[in-house]
Amino acid sequence: MTQKLHYLESHIGSMEQGIELINLLGWNISTKDGADSTFVLAGDQPIFASDSQEQVTSFIYGMALAYSILPNEVIHKLRKEVNID
């Protein structure tokens, strides 16, 4: 069954844009394809793996959705407090 993520795609954008949003807060998220799974990494640490690209996309969109509701000034303050800026 194919997932349709209309709301997320219209408010966050692509999965890559979701990763950019997450990384604003220092997660250093990336994805890596393995032999049987796709891995979501935070830096060099795997935090999620699935053999379904749809599940990987949903995981990333879930993280991005949590951050998408934060006002820009809150993101800026958090980045400053953890020495990202």
Helix axes 15-23, 53-68, angle to 10 degrees: 50
The pLDDT assigned to 2 comes to: 67
The pLDDT assigned to 48 comes to: 97
- Per-residue pLDDT band for 1 (boundaries 50, 70, 90) equals low
DSSP sequence for 17-39: HHHHHHHTTT--EEEEE-SS-EE
Residue 9 CA to residue 25 CA, distance in Å, equals 20
Residue 41 CA to residue 26 CA, distance in Å, equals 12
Q: 3-61, pLDDT tens digit by residue?
A: 666 777 788 888 899 999 999 989 999 999 999 999 999 999 999 999 999 899 989 99
Q: Based on the number of CB atoms within 10 Å of its own CB, is 12 exposed (0-12), middle (13-18) or buried (19 or more)?
A: buried
The pLDDT assigned to 5 comes to: 66
